[in-house]
Amino acid sequence: MLVSREGDRREGVLLRQSKGWFHVGAMGHEALAVLAEILRKDDYLFGYYRERPLVLARGVTNKELALAYFAKRNSSSGGRQMPGHHSDRSLNIWSVPTPTGSVVLPACGAAWAMQLQGKDTISVAMIGDAATREGEFFEALCFAAQMQLPVVFMVQDNRYGISTCTETMNPFRMQMVGEGIDVVHLDARHPDRVLDAAAPAFDRARRGEGPSVLMCDLDRLCDHTSSDDQRVYRSVEEITAMHDRDPIDVVAKELIESGELTPAGWDEMKAEVVAEVDRDYQEAQQAPDPRAEELTDHLLAPVIDPGPVPLEGGRDWRIVDAVNAIFKYQLDNDERTMFFGQDIEDPKGGVFGLTKGLSTAHPSRVVNSPLAEATIVGAACGMASYGMRPVFEIQFVDFVGPAWNQLSQNLATLRWRTVSDWNCPAVFYMPYGAYLPGGSIWHSQANESLFAHTPGLRVVLPSTPEDAAALMWTALHAEDPTIFLIPKHRFRKPFPVAPGEVPAVPFGKAAIRREGTDATIVTWGNCVEQATEAAELLAAEISVEVIDLRSLVPWDRALVGQSLEKTGRLIIVQEDNESCSFGQKIISDMVSDPGSWDTFMSPPQLVSRGDVHIGFNPIYEYAALPSTEQVIDAVRLTMEE
């Protein structure tokens, strides 16, 4: 407790000396450090940025916190995270993200993995009281209660979200939470009271009796961060009153009154801590800084060749059947594999039949999810970082919005923000696209550019059954999250697969669907059909090469460049809408590269859905989407002198 307080004080002093950039304190939260006494080494801690006392008690050194304060190269984030964003894989301290409510669903995912493995370990999720109004918190409570997960939610209730008093906003004070989950209120200013409340909750979770919520009443004795001044919004009387309840002073007074500590011993202890903390920060200040050239390190790990795809050659396959075959093989051969999504259990087997038969064979590992996309993705994040292999379904890509926080803030950043200490080997497959009349606004979206815009995600879009199986096989062996978009229009069309062994498709390797010499069409997903049809119709007058990217992140720039050198003309065909799209990125990359600029014989063309939604009436749908005729017109335009 004292080391934590002195570390907070030291960082405040250093900031005033312009030695540092930011500080977030835990003053007043120190009594929670006692939880380390009842946390086992194999338990998992999902904390937030006021966890300094607890992580110190769990085994993180003060020197490490000093390195984090100075954003040094050898800190837990390599200088990529703010101070207070603790992480230590060896101690099962999950990397803290700034959005405080975003840890609770990954905590549930890790707890689910523990439960599936029959362990008596627990997951502890810590958040501030203001974050209890986040939708993900309610999803986490529901999911934990539904599955009776071994997770304990600890709400550090200091009654403030920065400057906003939460007294009238807290769902527990409004009696919105309680049925179906144990809620315990405690005075968290004293270690003994924390232990008295937490120990039974931890024990219940270990026995498989489900989750608990501990509402920890305490005070934030410091400003929200170094960018705040609480005197602006809190009265002198309020600040004075809470300092009178300072947990360190209360414990020290009790120890002195009981004779366990003398006043002189207390002074000596404080002096020793001051000297120790000062030494740590002086040493940390001299440690090496990050190197600018390392900025892009740890975004994604290399992917090894997983070997031949377990798909029978020499016969016709449909995408839906090929993907299902790979899923079945993976479940049969890797016990870490887990499926979760809406309606994926038999007899439905998914709305498109992608998981047909899987839950019958593996009932505990192919599980229907609630209608809660954030739960699907957040649970996958925690489960994957724990060591499982989630292959989770978003029923339609159109519905990914509620999960966007987990995708962009947790999954995409986890490896990078921990310099590969943590990772998230998860696959999210999502039926996408239109060209199926009647889909309307929310069953017709493409959205690939949203994912491609997010560093830390791989994005693939197969257009044939063989590629769907081969790319899925690669994704299942990757160590980072993969967004796997499956074109609905091509789900049930049979395609021949050549006899013999089916090789895996590496990420970033495009395929030439039709060779040509006069113009290059680059496309992916559903629009491979329009592109190849256009090339065939033009064959008598123009030789068109059609490249199916198959993978957007990474994309095969080399093959596109080679084709452009041959043809001098480039047409991009995409189903997504135009503005800030991946098609625009390809054109931008190619025309801004001096090496490829000189090869252009005419301006590149983009055939795309405009910036408009897709309507229910097929007239609207086909008016919005790229057509074969539009592709033909674009090719002819590039041929004009």
Could you read off the pLDDT of 39-56 as tens digits, one per residue? 999 999 999 999 999 999
177-181, 219-223, 418-422, 425-429: which has the minimum mean pLDDT? 177-181
Bridge partners of 216? 156, 186
In this prediction, residue 581 carries a pLDDT of: 98
Q: Which of 98-102, 104-108, 351-355, 365-369 has the lowest mean pLDDT?
A: 98-102
Letter string b/e over residues 476-491, b meaning 16 or more CB atoms within 10 A of that residue's CB: bbbebbbbbbbbbbbb
pLDDT in tens, 320-356: 999 999 999 999 999 999 999 999 999 999 999 999 9
pLDDT at 512: 99
Rounded to whole angstroms, what are the CA distances from 17 to 63, 290, 340?
20, 22, 52
- Model confidence at 440: pLDDT above 90: yes
Say yes or no to pLDDT of 286 above 80: yes
Residue 511 has pLDDT above 90, yes or no: yes
- What 3-state class would DSSP assign to 259? coil
What domains are defined for the chain? 2-282 (3.40.50.970), 315-497 (3.40.50.970), 511-639 (3.40.50.920)
* Token pair belonging to 10: 């030291």
pLDDT at 562 over 90: yes
Q: Which of 185, 443, 489, 613 is catalytic?
A: 443
Query: What's the pLDDT tens digit per position in 193-242?
Result: 999 999 999 999 999 999 999 999 999 999 999 999 999 999 999 999 99
pLDDT value, residue 175:
86
Cβ pair 299, 415 in contact under 8 A: yes
Instruction: Say which residues have a Cβ less than 8 Å from residue 515's Cβ, sequence separation at least 6.
Output: 545
8 A C-beta contact, residue 485 and residue 397: yes
CA distance 94 to 316: 46
Instruction: Determine the 3-state secondary structure of 185 from DSSP.
Output: strand
Read off the pLDDT of each residue in 4-19 and give the average, rounded to a whole number.
Answer: 97
Helix 263-285 and helix 62-69, axial crossing angle in degrees, nearest 10: 50
Q: Which whole number is the average pLDDT over 455-481?
A: 99
The chain-wide mean pLDDT, for the chain, equals: 97
Q: What is the pLDDT of residue 176?
A: 86
Residues forming beta bridges with residue 446, ordered by sequence position: none
Two tokens, residue 350: 């998914």
Cβ within 8 Å of residue 425, ≥6 positions away: 384, 389, 478, 479, 480, 481
pLDDT tens digit sequence for 601-612: 999 999 999 999
Is 443 a catalytic site residue?
yes
Q: Is 115 left (phi over 0), alpha (psi -120 to 50) or beta?
A: alpha
The pLDDT of residue 641 is: 63
Q: What are 141-198's pLDDT values in tens digits? A: 999 999 999 999 999 999 999 999 999 999 998 888 877 899 999 999 999 999 999 9
